[in-house]
Structure 1
Amino acid sequence: MEVFSSEGYTTYQASNGKMALEIVREESPDIVLLDMKIPGMDGLEILKQIKLMKPHMNVIMMTAYGELDMIKEATDLGALMHFTKPFDIDEMRVAVNMTLEQGQPNNQMTMPS
């Protein structure tokens, strides 16, 4: 999160699925960095709920090596891309910046962890 805050982005962090959905609903960030494993709800369910609320929301998934079978489903549900942990934060930073440059960002993101 610090890398994005230091670049001037407003960031939000959720400790569980319910909080992540509340942030998306109330703050409408330009992009969501979503972990497949988050307390209270699995990442695919959160992704489904995000897409129901905000169909055009940009979502990048983060997953552990053993969860790669879920990536196809996440992509089918509308995730833009995924990063397998451990990932290079600079690669994610580039992906986030490129995604935001394609839209009309207000420099807000959320990252459920």
Structure 2
Amino acid sequence: MRRSYTVKKILVVDDQYGIRVLLCEILQKDGYQMHDAANGVQALKIVEKEQPDLVLLDMKIPGMDGLEILKHIKEDHPQINVIMMTAYGELNLINEAMSLGAITHFAKPFDIDDIRAVIKESIDGSKTEAK
């Protein structure tokens, strides 16, 4: 009997096009099904339609900010893991995001291998060896 294998879905939410493209390209090569959104409205539509396993969410997005998006995701889909990304070292916002259910955060510029390791651990439940 063959085990069914489902491709894990990741949503990248960032208003910076370059960050979305970079993360989507790298993570797609790792075997994930990628989705991306430039704002909160797009992000929440994708969450409803695709039910991603993980959301990489920028803290500072014009319109609906990362904390608002995080609240909406966690209210309707508490099982979705959310990793926050921020270019600002605002500890109070990071602490609030963690209290709202984010599993961790990364400061920009980030090390892509660090993000890949945390994603693998949170989605697949397996740790990768640090180099």
TM superposition score category, shorter chain reference? 0.7 to 0.9
Shift of 1:69: 2.1
Residue type of the alignment partner of 1:6: K
SS in 2 for 1:70: helix
Q: 2: distance between equivalents of 1:39 and 1:24?
A: 19
The answer as to 2:88 corresponding to 1:79 is: no
* Paired position in structure 2 for 1:101: 124
C-alpha distance in 1, partners of 2:103/2:55?
A: 10
User: Where do 1:21-40 residues align within 5 Å?
Assistant: 21-40=44-63
Answer whether contact 1:31 1:58 (CA < 8 A) is retained.
Answer: yes
Question: 1:16-35, CA deviations, whole angstroms, 9 ceiling, x for partnerless residues?
Answer: 10000111111001000000
Aligned residues: 103
Which structure has greater strand proportion?
A: 1
Which structure has the greater CA radius of gyration?
2
TM-score, normalised with respect to structure 2: 0.75
Q: Shift of the alpha carbon at 1:102?
A: 2.3
What is residue 44 of structure 1 aligned with on the other side? 67
What's the counterpart of residue 79 of structure 2? 56
Q: Distance in 2 between matches of 1:2 and 1:93?
A: 12
Distance 1:73 1:51 in 2: 13
Contact 1:15 1:39 in 2 (8 A): no
Structure 1 vs Structure 2 CA RMSD: 1.3
**Percent of aligned pairs with the same amino acid:** 57
Q: CA deviation at 1:55?
A: 1.2
